[in-house]
Structure 1
């Protein structure tokens, strides 16, 4: 089975016309999905110094292939007069198209051309509700139905569990991404092995499974392991409450998908809402424990230094788009690195002391 990924890439080459509105598209989630699929050695930094390279025993199934990664620029004009002109010319033949946060008009044009690519199924994950409009989804369903192509819009991606006998089900099984599926071996109520069959597309499930091993089912591992490591990975799904999810947030659905790992072994799984009521009466994200904040900051520091080793210097804007940490964590990491004398700043450009880069 051949997979093609359609994604957005940040570009400064898009010229804005007078009175034209530009849409900016998420690029971070695609980076994480691709890093997970290719099993890149430096992809996951969640465990920091405690990393045991838990992912090295996993790999792509025989007969599967990443046929190509096709990029669209971000930003793009909100309204395209001739969307067909924006369809990339280098789309390879493939069985499944994974379209991550791209311009919906271009996506629809690509679907219309699906027979020329050999396309059999499409997955359009929605980590945030506004990644594609309801009208575009409806049009995509009509196009695919007419062409005999399966299509799914999982919200979020880790809720993706299509019928096993479908093309989409085969895709989930062969590429190991979708709703988490982890096989646990338990002896005397202690988890001796946690083998990932299907991971969240971002790769968070491998991190969760690694920390489940050696823990007792008698412990509160729902919160102490699953919720802790899934949060600190971190999950980047939206915190916006969505009527299509019954008023839940994609972030909450993602958390429940990981808590479901324990369902064969525990009769009750803690349903921890990631949102809490603030003193001002608004719903805000549950505070992350200080130890996890420290771990995240240290991970961001390592990521920044690794980036500077290869690039010499980098703008703050580019750095934010290249590392998988929240702005708050990244800012704390940059302040700490500067205080320790490990980096210097020149305006909005970060570099190592005594080194210069392309800026």
Structure 2
């Protein structure tokens, strides 16, 4: 699968690095770095777009401004992308109204898209598109398998990990901990990584995206630990 990642700063760079290090070897991952400064409303996209982009199957939009989000339709046209993943880890990067506009425009182009909020909530059932499903096999909502010995975590296998790399960080921190302590510690380690999601309260669910992401991590650990807890 060919993936084109669009990055702008540290948020996207960290995700790109994790994909390159831990993604399937047969994935072909390319990137384009968008300008750091983009106007809030882009009237002439060609002023900010590169002359050429590699052809791709999946466009991964990891910008840190509304300007990058506005460029998504043009990036799709240039790259021939057949699917788009544009995570919402900060509403400042992709407000709800703009997301709806982009999704509608992509539908008119015949391009599937998902906007996971947060990115680590993505699962294969999030889309029927083959490229989005393939990506979500490996990256998205964490899924772990724990092996324990004498009440402590001995080994952790990652079936699916958070795109940012936090699950691997968490894995190393949890090894050796007592089973009964691991779930609570998981939330702390998630923040220590650190999580770069927004701290602002979302009206949609009355909590911050940051806290929602931490809860996803804790729940993944809880499910992995369940077979090892005494009734």
- TM-score, normalised to structure 2, is 0.86
1:188 is displaced (CA, Å) by 4.6
Q: Which has the larger radius of gyration?
A: 1
Q: Secondary structure at the match of 2:139?
A: coil
Cross-structure match for 1:223: 184
Q: Secondary structure at the match of 1:154?
A: coil
Cross-structure match for 2:16: 34
Report if the CA contact (8 A) 1:159-1:253 is conserved.
no
- TM-score, normalised to structure 1, is 0.57
Alignment length (residue pairs): 221
- Are 2:39 and 1:80 aligned? no
- Are 2:89 and 1:123 aligned? no
Tell me, which stretches of 5 or more residues in structure 1 are unaligned? 9-26, 40-58, 268-359
1:33 is displaced (CA, Å) by 0.7
Change (3 A) 1:231 1:93: same
2:133 to 169, 181, 204: 169
Counterpart-to-counterpart distance in 1, 2:57 and 2:148: 38
- Are 2:210 and 1:247 aligned? no
Change (3 A) 1:216 1:252: same
1:258 to 217, 221, 224: 217
Report if the CA contact (8 A) 2:70-2:102 is conserved.
no
Q: Secondary structure at the match of 1:220?
A: helix
**CA offset digits 1:129-182 (Å, max 9, x no partner):** 121232321222112222332211112211112418642121122xx3211121
Counterpart-to-counterpart distance in 2, 1:122 and 1:194: 31
Cα RMSD after superposing both structures: 2.1
Runs of 4+ with deviation above 4 angstroms = none
Counterpart-to-counterpart distance in 1, 2:145 and 2:161: 11
2:192 to 223, 228, 232: 232
Report if the CA contact (8 A) 2:81-2:111 is conserved.
yes
Q: Secondary structure at the match of 2:42?
A: coil
Tell me, which stretches of 5 or more residues in structure 2 are unaligned? none
Counterpart-to-counterpart distance in 2, 1:130 and 1:193: 38
Q: Secondary structure at the match of 2:88?
A: coil
Q: Secondary structure at the match of 1:36?
A: helix
Report if the CA contact (8 A) 1:158-1:179 is conserved.
yes
2:163 to 201, 205, 226: 201
1:228 is displaced (CA, Å) by 2.5
Cross-structure match for 1:63: 26
Comparing both structures, which one devotes a greater share of its residues to helix?
2
